[in-house]
Amino acid sequence: MQGLTHLDYAAEMNPDIHPEAAVAPGYLANHAARVFNRAVDAGLRAHGLTLALIGPLLLLSWKGPMLQRDLVTASAVKQPAMAALLDKLESMALVERTVLMADKRAATVSLTETGNTAAAIGRQVLLNVNAIGLAGFSEEEAVVLNAMLRRLIVELENFSTEIHHT
């Protein structure tokens, strides 16, 4: 990269991406997420799953049975979309909902045995795609990348919080 600016280097790496976007962390993080999501969906497709479907499965696998409203709170999915996801997961026999006797409007969502298997498959696909993405990195580079991404997230979340409180 001797003699080149970071913008020259970015344009040289991929002429289809605007040079300023190619060095913008937000753009790069977003682009990496889209590429990652496509790869995960491709890996899940053979199992009849999608990235959207494994989100609730992994959360239930980690936390155990949860109220539907708590699933919404713990995820980035809004209530109507979560209800649709749970309807789909229930039709696939991956989750079951049990209405609470104390409040007929609330339901506990739990994984079925098949749902536990699907969650394990989803977890493995995620781990595999992450490993593929880091294949060319040294262990130290992978640690630094993770630390820098966490730092980027914290800075953006802090900024977002400041905007909402002003």
Instruction: Find the CATH number of the domain harbouring 81.
Output: 1.10.10.10
Domain span including residue 29: 1-46
Radius of gyration of the CA atoms of the chain, in A: 20
The residues, any chain, with a CB within 8 Å of residue 131's CB and separated by 6 or more, are none
Residue 82 and residue 17 share a domain: no
pLDDT score for 23? 81
Query: What pLDDT shows up at residue 1?
Result: 46
| Residue 70 and residue 140 share a domain | no
pLDDT (tens place) for every residue of the chain, 166 residues total? 455 565 555 556 677 777 787 788 888 899 999 999 999 999 999 999 999 999 999 999 999 999 999 999 999 889 899 999 999 999 999 999 999 888 888 899 999 999 999 999 999 999 999 999 999 999 999 999 999 999 999 999 998 887 777 6
Alpha helical stretches, state H, 110-138: 113-133
Question: Based on the domain organization, do 56 and 18 belong to the same domain?
Answer: no
